């Protein structure tokens, strides 16, 4: 029998390349567990090639990009830690509102992932591939030197770009909802904070709830672990106010030096790609420095006496705030960012810094009487349904912005999730990859008209449509369903989540394709044609009617659905969104909370200021060139 020592020595003698191949059958967790077996194996699994193989197996970015990203972290193991954590976020996220525009695509940046909103827009004569796709940043998650994550919400106020730092909760591997929340946290270890430089303590935590005044911090923490109130249990108005106050106070102005690209251009131009990588590295270093540095003096339009880190806010002086609110009932209606900052400039203490913002939270929702909170203008049923704000706040010494990637049970209709209308949330679309029996599944984009995207005198631009094609079975009959996720018109014609067309893929269509040539006067060859039905009756129906038509699969890779009665044609091509965004054009974001999810019901294009001005707008990348 061969000794264990001899077996281990043989394993350790394997060349790095062979060891990397062997490790392909292991998960990152398996490798970490292997390193715990003994000191020799611990040193062995630190091999850079082993962790490069693990990074490559995750499939988030190409191997060539992994080599570039490695320059920003301490090791491939740290890079794998980051990639493994953010991998579930990659993909398409949506919300029901506004009907035009709330489609967010999360894609790799540079040692980061970036949430990009696709702006409703019209396409010119260059079409999808060559025309600039407009987009705006929503959030980004940056990998630190050790592979840990830093979360930043993006927003724009009064012509100025800001980032809003926060924390990132554990990401579920099968997450289908992204929630923007506020989270209370506690100090520990004699003033050291739970997340490095992530919290600001307030001076008297006992003022949050008098019943806790006689308890030690450890005793309070034990009790709070049993009764901690989740953010989702608060009433909508309380959740909205908390988000408004936190984002208003933690925002940091983006300096010109940090206004560069969020991801590199395509590698078809090596010189520009290298310039982009340099700008990306500089920008990332500056953003991380902004998050971790101590701002001793004034910075931007924030108070001079600022906490050393702005990802969390302290809560202090609540009893005095309550007294002020009893004397003035108009704090909520008069609250604005200017007012809050004006109050901040007059106060020279940390207590005064946060007092103005918390007035708005507590002024309308809660009145305190003898230490007990009572919700104003609420019935007994609503009191039992929603948690009281003071119960939520007493869970910790501080509050801060957080991104929560959760897995919840969702119902759906034709691949479109049924959404909660009062959650600051984005919902992930289950985008299917093509396979032999479902070859047309995936993301497609296009416009109405033939030849595809050709402008006319009365309509120089064509509205961009993004559709998700998926397969379902109804009464034993296979269906190909094209679900609309984005429409580039000025006023919505079809509801989000509606089926633009349905094709019965086991029923060939006898109707020939109406045109014999394309825009380049080349002959049109039809590979397949299926009977189907297309959306009809316009907006006003959650599940609108349909009229007969046919779906044609063309030899050049396009598909086209034609309504039989009107001869209207919707022509689509398969899209590679990351590449389109890399060639696209960045436009300014909305205000922070609205930028994440626009909860106001709107049928018009809330991004109309940007959607048709691509020739006038210049992206940060273009300004850097």
Task: Assign residue 22 the CATH number of its domain.
Answer: 1.20.1280
Q: Are residues 376 and 511 in the same domain?
A: no
pLDDT of residue 309: 46
- Whether residue 327 is predicted with pLDDT greater than 50 in this model: the reply is no
- pLDDT > 70: percent of the chain: 69
pLDDT of residue 539: 63
Inside any domain, residue 71: yes
What is the Cα–Cα distance from 74 to 51, expressed in whole angstroms? 12
Q: Are residues 388 and 498 in the same domain?
A: no
**Which of 25, 121, 51 shows the shortest CA–CA distance to 490?**
121
pLDDT of residue 453: 61
pLDDT of residue 474: 86
Q: Are residues 397 and 449 in the same domain?
A: no
- Whether residue 298 is predicted with pLDDT greater than 80 in this model: the reply is no
- Whether residue 1 is predicted with pLDDT greater than 90 in this model: the reply is no
Q: How many CA atoms lie within 13 A of 52 on its CB side?
A: 18
pLDDT digits (tens, 9 = 90+) for 441-474: 999 999 998 887 666 666 667 889 999 999 998 8
Inside any domain, residue 168: no
- Cα dist from 511 to 440, 508, 551, whole Å: 21, 9, 10
- Whether residue 106 is predicted with pLDDT greater than 80 in this model: the reply is yes
What is the Cα–Cα distance from 170 to 158, expressed in whole angstroms? 34
Inside any domain, residue 263: no
- The structure tokens 């191997």 sit at 63
pLDDT of residue 457: 63
- Whether residue 92 is predicted with pLDDT greater than 60 in this model: the reply is yes
Tell me the helix, strand and coil percentages in the chain, rounded to 5.
35, 25, 40
**Average pLDDT score over residue span 548-557:** 94
pLDDT of residue 135: 94
Q: Are residues 309 and 397 in the same domain?
A: yes
- Whether residue 64 is predicted with pLDDT greater than 50 in this model: the reply is yes
Q: Are residues 467 and 381 in the same domain?
A: no
Which of 68, 88, 108 terminates a domain? The answer is 88
Residue 131 or residue 159, greater confidence = 159
- Whether residue 150 is predicted with pLDDT greater than 60 in this model: the reply is yes
Q: Are residues 358 and 435 in the same domain?
A: no
Q: Are residues 313 and 461 in the same domain?
A: no
Lowest average pLDDT, out of 108-122, 173-187, 188-202, 264-278, goes to: 188-202
pLDDT of residue 617: 36
Inside any domain, residue 469: yes
Q: Which of 5-9, 164-168, 540-544 has the highest mean pLDDT?
A: 164-168
Q: Coil, strand, or helix at residue 38? A: coil
Inside any domain, residue 297: no
Q: Are residues 236 and 331 in the same domain?
A: yes
- pTM, whole model, 2 decimals? 0.79
Inside any domain, residue 158: no
Which tokens sit at 534?
A: 């297309």
- Cα dist from 601 to 96, 261, 543, whole Å: 9, 32, 18
- Whether residue 196 is predicted with pLDDT greater than 80 in this model: the reply is no
Q: Are residues 390 and 307 in the same domain?
A: yes
Average pLDDT value for the chain: 76
Which of 88, 107, 141 terminates a domain? The answer is 88
Residue 545 or residue 406, greater confidence = 406
Inside any domain, residue 397: yes
The number of domains in the chain is 3
pLDDT of residue 102: 86
Residue 32 or residue 456, greater confidence = 32
Q: Are residues 447 and 564 in the same domain?
A: yes
pLDDT of residue 606: 85
What is the Cα–Cα distance from 140 to 163, expressed in whole angstroms? 9
Residue 5 or residue 543, greater confidence = 543
Q: Are residues 356 and 480 in the same domain?
A: no
Q: Are residues 508 and 435 in the same domain?
A: yes
Which of 88, 123, 155 terminates a domain? The answer is 88
Domain that holds residue 386: 198-243+302-401
**Average pLDDT score over residue span 560-571:** 94
Pairing of strands 585-586, 134-143: parallel
Inside any domain, residue 479: yes
Lowest average pLDDT, out of 12-26, 437-451, 521-535, goes to: 12-26
């Amino acid at each position: 029998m061969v000794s264990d020592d001899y077996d281990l020595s043989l394993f350790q003698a394997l060349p790095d390349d062979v060891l990397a191949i062997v490790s392909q059958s292991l998960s990152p967790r398996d490798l970490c567990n292997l390193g715990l077996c003994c000191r020799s194996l611990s040193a062995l699994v630190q091999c850079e090639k082993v962790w490069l193989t693990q990074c490559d197996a995750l499939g988030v970015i190409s191997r060539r990009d992994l080599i570039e990203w490695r320059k920003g972290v301490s090791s491939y193991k740290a890079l794998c830690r980051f990639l493994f954590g953010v991998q579930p976020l990659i993909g398409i996220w949506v919300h029901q509102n506004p009907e035009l525009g709330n489609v967010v695509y999360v894609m790799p940046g540079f040692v980061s992932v970036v949430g990009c909103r696709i702006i409703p827009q019209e396409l010119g004569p260059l079409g999808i591939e060559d025309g600039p796709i407009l987009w705006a940043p929503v959030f980004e998650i940056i990998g630190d030197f050790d592979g840990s994550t830093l979360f930043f919400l993006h927003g724009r106020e009064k012509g100025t770009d800001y980032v809003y730092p926060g924390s990132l909760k554990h990401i579920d591997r099968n997450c289908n909802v992204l929630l923007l929340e506020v989270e209370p946290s506690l100090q520990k270890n004699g003033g050291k904070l739970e997340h490095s430089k992530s919290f600001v303590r307030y001076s008297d935590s006992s003022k949050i709830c008098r019943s806790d005044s006689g308890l030690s911090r450890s005793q309070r923490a034990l009790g709070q672990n049993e009764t901690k109130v989740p953010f989702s249990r608060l009433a909508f108005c309380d959740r909205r106010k908390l988000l408004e106050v936190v984002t208003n106070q933690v925002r940091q102005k983006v300096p010109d030096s940090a206004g560069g690209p969020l991801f590199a251009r395509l590698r078809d131009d090596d010189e520009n790609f290298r310039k982009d990588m340099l700008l990306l590295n500089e920008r990332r270093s500056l953003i991380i420095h902004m998050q971790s540095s101590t701002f001793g003096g004034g910075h931007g339009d924030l108070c001079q006496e600022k906490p050393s880190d702005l990802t969390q806010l302290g809560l202090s002086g609540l009893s005095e705030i309550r007294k002020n609110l009893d004397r003035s009932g108009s704090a909520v209606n008069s609250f604005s960012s200017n007012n809050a900052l004006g109050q901040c400039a007059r106060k020279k203490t940390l207590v005064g810094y946060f007092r103005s913002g918390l007035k708005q939270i507590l002024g309308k929702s809660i009145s305190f009487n003898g230490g007990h909170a009572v919700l104003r203008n609420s019935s007994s049923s609503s009191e039992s349904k929603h948690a009281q704000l003071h119960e939520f706040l007493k869970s910790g010494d501080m509050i801060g912005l957080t991104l929560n990637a959760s897995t919840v049970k969702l119902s759906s209709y034709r691949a479109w999730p049924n959404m909660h209308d009062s959650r600051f949330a984005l919902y992930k679309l289950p985008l299917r990859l093509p396979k032999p029996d479902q070859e047309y599944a995936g993301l497609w984009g296009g416009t109405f008209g033939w030849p595809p995207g050709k402008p006319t005198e009365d309509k120089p631009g064509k509205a961009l449509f993004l559709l998700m094609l998926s397969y379902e079975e109804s009464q034993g009959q296979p269906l190909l369903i094209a679900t609309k996720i984005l429409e580039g018109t000025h006023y919505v014609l079809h509801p989000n989540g509606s089926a633009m067309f349905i094709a019965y893929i086991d029923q060939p269509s006898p109707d020939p394709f109406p045109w014999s040539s394309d825009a380049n006067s080349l002959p049109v060859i039809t590979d397949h044609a299926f009977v189907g039905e297309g959306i009809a009756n316009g907006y006003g129906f959650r599940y609108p009617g349909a009229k007969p038509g046919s779906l044609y699969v063309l030899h050049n890779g396009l598909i086209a659905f034609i309504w039989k009665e009107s001869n209207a044609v919707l022509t689509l091509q398969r899209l590679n969104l990351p590449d389109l965004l890399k060639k696209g054009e960045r436009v300014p974001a909305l205000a922070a909370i609205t930028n994440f999810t626009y909860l106001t019901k709107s049928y018009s294009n809330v991004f109309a200021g940007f959607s048709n001005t691509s020739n006038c707008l210049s992206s940060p990348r273009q300004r850097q060139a």
